[in-house]
Chains A and B, each alone.
Chain A
Amino acid sequence: MASPDSSILPAVVRDHQREILQQWIAEQSSGSNARSDLLSDAELRQQSSEFLQLFREAVQAGNLGNVMGTEWQGVRELLATVSKANAIRGFTPIDTATFVLSLKRPLFQQLTTDAGSDADLLARETWTVTTVLDSLALFTTEVFQRSREEVISRQQQELMELSTPVVKLWDGILAVPLIGTLDSARTQVVMESLLQRIVDTEAGIAIIDIAGVPTVDTLVAQHLIKTVAAARLMGAECIISGIRPQIAQTIVHLGVELVGAVTKATLADAILYALRQSGWSVSRGRS
């Protein structure tokens, strides 16, 4: 007879590992959440058996109160791997959590058999199993979410870098073609890389092309003005090009003045102006 404090769970999992595994696999493949389209039987068996083995080891170690403890390291690592792999295969977080939660029924059944007529013990063990499996299921959801967030933040960074190509057009002439919505974070990156390139290339003229910016409102205008002012402080003249007729009218109505910058309708005009400013002359050669 076990003392009131000790759990029979470790013994149950140890002695009946094979039965539990079989029932669990049956449970998973028969349930309404069965995803045989995404996961083959062999893979399911492999995944379940690995999990149960690690689960057993963790349960033997004794720390049933805290699945974040070191005893559960192996289980957590496996779940993290499964959760990430599932995310890539197209499982929903629900599918992954169900994988863990579906272990409840086989475990409960086995506990019922082993606890016999001791209702108190059964209630206590059921509660323990529920707490542990719920925490593990929540953990898979958290991992799923975290891996999604990682993807998003990586994409944001990539976008950020993509959005700021400062190109050298000619000796001492730089150009930044701006594309998309200009928010504060992106403008900051644009400004930094432009100023850095002005230093690196000793450029005297920077062309900022806004043909790819869909809307120029006061915030965008303010960002442009600041960038121009910063470039001027470093001794570079700025040309803002790509101002479409509708944008020009809107800017006028808004009452914004793009002070300190020469403005041109097209990038071609800006390039010509920049070449002339730096003493080059452009002429068509004889063919």
Chain B
Amino acid sequence: MVSVRQAVRAWAVEMKFSLVDQTKLVTAASELARNTLIHGGGGSARLEALEDGGRQGIRLIFEDQGPGIEDVKLALTDGYTTGHGLGLGLSGSRRLVNEFEITTSPGEGTRVAVTKWK
């Protein structure tokens, strides 16, 4: 988790994101990496640098082979948690980024892709 955070921060700094955006992205990465680790039983994190008509962005993709999420809508509700946390990780990180995409089905693992544009 620490290495994910450091990598994301390094990329965000290199791509000259503002301090606020850096912090938001790193925090989102921290939340999603923890979900992958705790609920997904470990998985992979991938960073992509994006360029689209002059604007730059970073996409983070977290994938795991865990049990998946049964009710995505419920999981994205503030305060809903299956663990002992605050229940704000998934919903909170959606608010920290520009694009948020989640693909999951029970038993098939979960893939979360988030994008932050500069």
A247→B22 CA distance, assembly (Å)? 10
Asked if B20 and A218 sit within 8 Å, CB to CB, the answer is: no
Asked if A217 and B24 sit within 8 Å, CB to CB, the answer is: no
A249 in contact with B23 given A218-B86, A222-B86 (CB within 8 Å): yes
Asked if B34 and A254 sit within 8 Å, CB to CB, the answer is: no
Asked if B88 and A256 sit within 8 Å, CB to CB, the answer is: yes
Asked if A249 and B92 sit within 8 Å, CB to CB, the answer is: no
Whose C-beta in chain A lies nearest to the C-beta of B26? A215
B31 in complex: contacting residue of A214, A217, A245, A249, CB < 8 Å:
A217
User: Chain B residues near A215 (CB, 8 Å)?
Assistant: 5, 23, 26-27, 30
B109 at the interface (CB under 8 A from A): no
Q: Which of A217, A219, A256 has the most CB of B within 10 A?
A: A217
User: Chain A residues near B27 (CB, 8 Å)?
Assistant: 215-217, 250, 254
Interface of A is mostly: helix
Asked if B88 and A218 sit within 8 Å, CB to CB, the answer is: yes
A275 at the interface (CB under 8 A from B): no
Q: Which residues of A contact B (CB under 8 A)?
A: 181, 214-219, 221-222, 245-247, 249-250, 253-256
User: Chain A residues near B89 (CB, 8 Å)?
Assistant: 217-218
A250→B9 CA distance, assembly (Å)? 15
A218 in contact with B85 given A253-B95, A254-B92, A254-B95 (CB within 8 Å): yes
A217→B31 CA distance, assembly (Å)? 7
Q: How far is the CB of A90 from chain B (nearest CB, A)?
A: 27
A255 in complex: contacting residue of B5, B9, B20, B78, CB < 8 Å:
B78
Q: How far is the CB of B95 from chain A (nearest CB, A)?
A: 5
Asked if B86 and A221 sit within 8 Å, CB to CB, the answer is: yes
User: Chain B residues near A254 (CB, 8 Å)?
Assistant: 27, 31, 88, 92-93, 95-96
B19 at the interface (CB under 8 A from A): yes
User: Chain A residues near B24 (CB, 8 Å)?
Assistant: 246, 249-250, 253
User: Chain A residues near B91 (CB, 8 Å)?
Assistant: 255
Q: How far is the CB of A265 from chain B (nearest CB, A)?
A: 15
Q: Which of A181, A216, A246 has the most CB of B within 10 A?
A: A246
Q: How far is the CB of A159 from chain B (nearest CB, A)?
A: 13
- CB proximity to A under 8 Å, residues B35-59: none
B85 in complex: contacting residue of A219, A245, A247, CB < 8 Å:
A219
What would be 27 A-B contacts, judged by CB atoms less than 8 Å apart? A215-B5, A217-B34, A218-B31, A218-B88, A218-B89, A219-B34, A219-B85, A221-B86, A222-B86, A245-B19, A246-B20, A246-B22, A246-B23, A246-B24, A249-B20, A249-B23, A250-B24, A253-B92, A253-B95, A254-B31, A254-B92, A254-B93, A255-B78, A255-B88, A255-B95, A256-B88, A256-B92
